[in-house]
Chain A
Amino acid sequence: AQSVSQHNHHVILSEAASLELGCNYSYGGTVNLFWYVQYPGQHLQLLLKYFSGDPLVKGIKGFEAEFIKSKFSFNLRKPSVQWSDTAEYFCAVNGGMNRDDKIIFGKGTRLHILP
Chain B
Amino acid sequence: DTGVSQDPRHKITKRGQNVTFRCDPISEHNRLYWYRQTLGQGPEFLTYFQNEAQLEKSRLLSDRFSAERPKGSFSTLEIQRTEQGDSAMYLCASSSQGVPLFGPGTRLTVL
Chain B 12-45 near chain A by CB (<8 Å), digits 1 or 0: 0000000000000000000101010000111111
Give A102 to B45 CA distance when docked, in angstroms: 7
Query: Are B41 and A107 in contact, CB atoms less than 8 angstroms apart?
Result: yes
Question: What is the distance, in angstroms, from A22's C-beta to the closest C-beta of chain B?
Answer: 14
Query: Residue B42 contacts which of A43, A90, A102 (CB distance < 8 angstroms)?
Result: A90
Query: Are A100 and B42 in contact, CB atoms less than 8 angstroms apart?
Result: no
Query: Residue A102 contacts which of B56, B101, B103 (CB distance < 8 angstroms)?
Result: B56
Kindly state whether residue B90 has any CB partner on chain A within 8 Å. no
- Chain B residues near A45: list those with CB within 8 A: 102
Question: What is the distance, in angstroms, from B92's C-beta to the closest C-beta of chain A?
Answer: 10
Query: Are A106 and B42 in contact, CB atoms less than 8 angstroms apart?
Result: yes
Query: Are B98 and A44 in contact, CB atoms less than 8 angstroms apart?
Result: no
Give the size of the chain A interface in residues (CB under 8 angstroms).
Answer: 23
Kindly state whether residue A16 has any CB partner on chain B within 8 Å. no
Given known A90-B43, A107-B42, A108-B42, contact A102–B102 (CB-CB < 8 A)? no
Give A102 to B55 CA distance when docked, in angstroms: 10
Query: Are A104 and B99 in contact, CB atoms less than 8 angstroms apart?
Result: no
Query: Are A49 and B102 in contact, CB atoms less than 8 angstroms apart?
Result: no
Give A94 to B104 CA distance when docked, in angstroms: 22
Question: What is the distance, in angstroms, from B2's C-beta to the closest C-beta of chain A?
Answer: 12
Measured CB to CB, the residues of A under 8 A from B are 4, 6, 32, 34, 36, 43-46, 49, 51, 90, 92, 94, 99-100, 102-108
Q: What are 11 inter-chain pairs, A to B, with CB distance below 8 A?
A: A43-B103, A99-B99, A100-B31, A100-B95, A100-B98, A104-B45, A105-B35, A105-B42, A105-B44, A107-B40, A107-B42
